[in-house]
A and B are shown apart, each in its own frame.
Chain A
């Protein structure tokens, strides 16, 4: 179940996978996939199950089938580390896609942009589409609303009977939206929302606006 929100009169759809769809120009935003992480660990002697490698591609296919975008922006940290066997899987996967693909480079993206460009993937440090601009690290720029990733945001909710829950989330304020990490095996970081922040938590197959918990 997805959730629609509006930013500067544009409609954006939040998907429980952590992807975000800009409806007008049909652009799908996906952040922090960390492809190649499993292989990187295995190469160093830590036997992480290989099954997790394919899961990322299954999830990508699922969300792309759902939205059928014209363009996909990977919002940084698409690959976890140096080139390894998962690059070939990515190469094969890209070959099957109809949409354009762009990478907004992040701190983990240390693979040469030329490698990406040879697959038809454009690489930029920042993309501007007024009034929005897209970066890997959360940023601020006068007159623009920022979309970013990097933080792997999560939120902690508390309830009666000393209950508590920790959930990955989309984290929004007046000037920016931070996407959760899309990848399997990536982890998350708990943020403490302020009164004016909007928080959309991912609860299994749903995206739920939990901002009221923090607005009092």
Chain B
């Protein structure tokens, strides 16, 4: 069939629906049918699924002209989604195409939710079109005889690629693709991404730098000019508006009229606990909304989440309080308005959330920003600017993630086994491992086969064995079974299931929260007040309670940081504080009383000024610095500076930081003049000093946790089964120390440091920040009491530590002072 004829089929279908295909959809069809690969930049709800399902089905029609009567079995195409919750939606749109075009193609889903019997059925006969997740794809590669499953596959689409890029799931995807390229013929690879700063790089990562697939590829942009309006919710009286906090409940009443005036409103919160609290409080104060509002976050059970999503589509809900769980996928046409509570920390995320509203053609997207404390109004103002200039940040891809590679190689060894010489070139062709040396490769092979570099006679290490013909294979069933359970790269705190004692699944909660509860304690979860009864076989048993409670589970990992772009805009907005009112945004104007208080005690920095404040409280001596560079850079700067000061005198610090600045708190006063005289902000010896600061070891220790789990050093147990593998459990913290003492050249151990510097401390940004500070005039204010700017920082209780005092001295001091 000619491509014109194929096109006609597609266009006729659109006409039947009363739609006209977008230019980007037609471009994608053409490129795909011409055998090209590519990355499609299109937002959610733009019809991106039809842009790629269509050419896949058309391709099948072209290759099988008698498609209406005959059905050629076997997998044809794979659609990867990062969230299994989206798979139903994707299946529906795929089935619409296959059915309406009269093809016999079947569509199937394979995710963690798929039943074992369904999976076995798929093993015997794969659906033609398979919707799956990166983890489930890896699990397929851990299946015996996997090349036969994929042999007939001619297309793979990676949806929401921007969400995977910059994570280890993305690396896992790169590796999976590198294998699929070899075991299929003419595989077309496509990604779909929302707008990010580095789209070109995103395409390169997906397809592999300098590969044939990359050379024969295209970047398509859906130019849908969507008007986005940002409205800040400004407190009526600034005098009583809090200087710190992250909940934003003070402005709850301003949200009610927004909910009332619009058909459906999505209220985005930054953390799951914040989501729970907001839901609870809205109902408490406005019981009339009961039944009309709902809650949606990642820890709530699947049925409830699906019900909420369906209810949004049916327009049966006025508002949904949610987290990033509703960032992705699912098109919610009825959503008219979006409210963002607290800083979204990134422009891309904010735009994406804004884009959830006003999906109908010609409608504008409206997003309200609700600040949770005074200084966040500066962020509100900055967001206005950012949306105007579309300053979207990059997603930085991982490089040389050895942990993911160890997992992948073991996966291949679990299924059919692998020959290093066959796999090595595939791995080198990926973006992540393009710089990996032959020595590092040899090291990794030794690692999985011998457990380290040299085999000793009485060693009992068992993982991968090398057959006589050089095939690396897992022969131990226990190792294979544990590995299959462990596949996946998302590492969270150990999660534990919450159930009613009488039966009924409610959701999952982090173990560390539950461990603090006693029998009879009441906590809020999934919008209910629950009484803790006991823990049984990895399940928390609860019953409903009518008691009021303030305990809300905190989920870790909720701390985001401002991007470099956003930080810059934020600084510029703050600098307008010293300009005439007429040149200020409404948000900055409304902050006048706060600026006045700040000026009375200290100053509001101008463009060429770097502000340092010192003061004393009951907690000790506070030294607060304001680079306005985002949390991660501040973490690094604080660590660096405290280390350099600790070289001048024995001293102990506790460090706190937020997106605006950082604090060094000590029981001694630091002579700030000495800090300035010694040029402690220099970029000389930057990396060496950072590495030596105790803090980087602590950060690496935390990074190592994920690495240990991903690479299989720590076994997390059998999920849901409640089987405890007590003798195989250890904390990654302990492991980290063992590596530090006995194998400091271990690549996985070193990776923890590298990730700390590249992804956490953001060394590159840190260097730029220091250079910028070098060009600024330092303004040191010795204050009498805490200033409005310092308040959110000094009240933060999550702290890092650094000390150059002798341990015994510190203990004696602590013991003595407390004994006074």
Residues of A with Cβ closer than 8 Å to B?
37-52, 55, 80-81, 84-85, 88, 108, 157-165, 167, 184-187, 201, 203-204, 206, 208, 210, 212-213, 215-216
Is B808 an interface position by the 8 A CB rule?
yes
Judge whether A160 and B620 touch: CB under 8 Å. yes
With A44-B715, A80-B727, A162-B654 in contact, is A186–B462 under 8 Å at CB? no
Judge whether A161 and B742 touch: CB under 8 Å. no
Residues of B within 8 A of A165 (CB): 807, 810-811, 814
Is B728 an interface position by the 8 A CB rule?
yes
Judge whether A210 and B713 touch: CB under 8 Å. no
In the assembled complex, how far is the CB of residue B755 from the closest CB belonging to chain A, in whole angstroms? 19
Judge whether B813 and A40 touch: CB under 8 Å. no
Residues of A within 8 A of B456 (CB): 50
List CB contacts (< 8 Å) of B481-524 with chain A.
482-483
In the assembled complex, how far is the CB of residue A169 from the closest CB belonging to chain B, in whole angstroms? 11
Closest to A214 in B: B818
Judge whether B665 and A43 touch: CB under 8 Å. no
Judge whether B463 and A47 touch: CB under 8 Å. yes
Beyond A84-B460, A165-B807, 5 extra complex contacts between A and B, CB < 8 Å: A44-B462, A50-B742, A80-B727, A157-B815, A163-B654
Closest to B480 in A: A45
With A162-B620, A213-B814 in contact, is A44–B478 under 8 Å at CB? yes
Residues of B within 8 A of A163 (CB): 652, 654, 667, 801, 803, 810, 814
In the assembled complex, how far is the CB of residue B133 from the closest CB belonging to chain A, in whole angstroms? 25
Residues of B within 8 A of A164 (CB): 801
Judge whether A162 and B447 touch: CB under 8 Å. no
25 A-B contacts, Cβ less than 8 Å apart?
A37-B730, A45-B463, A45-B712, A49-B746, A51-B741, A55-B742, A85-B460, A108-B727, A157-B814, A159-B814, A161-B621, A161-B652, A162-B619, A162-B620, A162-B654, A162-B797, A163-B652, A164-B801, A165-B810, A167-B811, A187-B734, A204-B807, A206-B808, A208-B808, A213-B814
How many Å lie between the Cα of A38 and that of B713 in the bound state? Answer: 11
- How many chain B residues touch A (Cβ–Cβ < 8 Å)? 58
Residues of B within 8 A of A184 (CB): 738
Judge whether A159 and B728 touch: CB under 8 Å. no
How many Å lie between the Cα of A212 and that of B459 in the bound state? Answer: 47
Q: Which of B447, B734, B811 has the most CB of A within 10 A?
A: B811
Judge whether B452 and A50 touch: CB under 8 Å. yes
Judge whether A160 and B808 touch: CB under 8 Å. no
- Contact among A47, A84, A157, A216 with B811 in the assembled complex (CB-CB below 8 Å): A157
With A46-B728, A187-B731 in contact, is A208–B811 under 8 Å at CB? yes
With A85-B460, A159-B667, A159-B817 in contact, is A49–B738 under 8 Å at CB? yes
In the assembled complex, how far is the CB of residue A112 from the closest CB belonging to chain B, in whole angstroms? 17
Residues of A within 8 A of B665 (CB): 161-162
Give 6 nearest A-B pairs by CB, closest first.
A51-B742, A161-B620, A159-B814, A49-B742, A45-B463, A47-B451
Residues of A within 8 A of B620 (CB): 160-162
With A160-B817, A161-B619, A185-B738 in contact, is A201–B667 under 8 Å at CB? no
In the assembled complex, how far is the CB of residue B720 from the closest CB belonging to chain A, in whole angstroms? 21
Judge whether A186 and B463 touch: CB under 8 Å. no
List CB contacts (< 8 Å) of B765-820 with chain A.
797, 799, 801, 803, 807-808, 810-819
Is B739 an interface position by the 8 A CB rule?
yes
In the assembled complex, how far is the CB of residue B410 from the closest CB belonging to chain A, in whole angstroms? 8
In the assembled complex, how far is the CB of residue A27 from the closest CB belonging to chain B, in whole angstroms? 28
Residues of A within 8 A of B220 (CB): none
Judge whether B459 and A85 touch: CB under 8 Å. yes
Is B458 an interface position by the 8 A CB rule?
yes
Judge whether A43 and B462 touch: CB under 8 Å. yes
Residues of A within 8 A of B479 (CB): 44-45
Judge whether A48 and B460 touch: CB under 8 Å. no
How many Å lie between the Cα of A161 and that of B146 in the bound state? Answer: 58
With A42-B451, A46-B715, A49-B746 in contact, is A210–B811 under 8 Å at CB? yes
In the assembled complex, how far is the CB of residue A211 from the closest CB belonging to chain B, in whole angstroms? 8
How many Å lie between the Cα of A51 and that of B739 in the bound state? Answer: 9
Is B538 an interface position by the 8 A CB rule?
no
Judge whether B743 and A51 touch: CB under 8 Å. yes
In the assembled complex, how far is the CB of residue A154 from the closest CB belonging to chain B, in whole angstroms? 12
Residues of B within 8 A of A215 (CB): 819
Residues of A within 8 A of B799 (CB): 162
With A160-B620, A184-B738, A213-B815 in contact, is A49–B743 under 8 Å at CB? yes
How many Å lie between the Cα of A215 and that of B741 in the bound state? Answer: 36
Judge whether B807 and A81 touch: CB under 8 Å. no
List CB contacts (< 8 Å) of B455-477 with chain A.
456, 458-463, 476
Judge whether B458 and A81 touch: CB under 8 Å. no
- Contact among A39, A46, A52 with B713 in the assembled complex (CB-CB below 8 Å): A46
Judge whether B715 and A203 touch: CB under 8 Å. no
In the assembled complex, how far is the CB of residue B444 from the closest CB belonging to chain A, in whole angstroms? 11
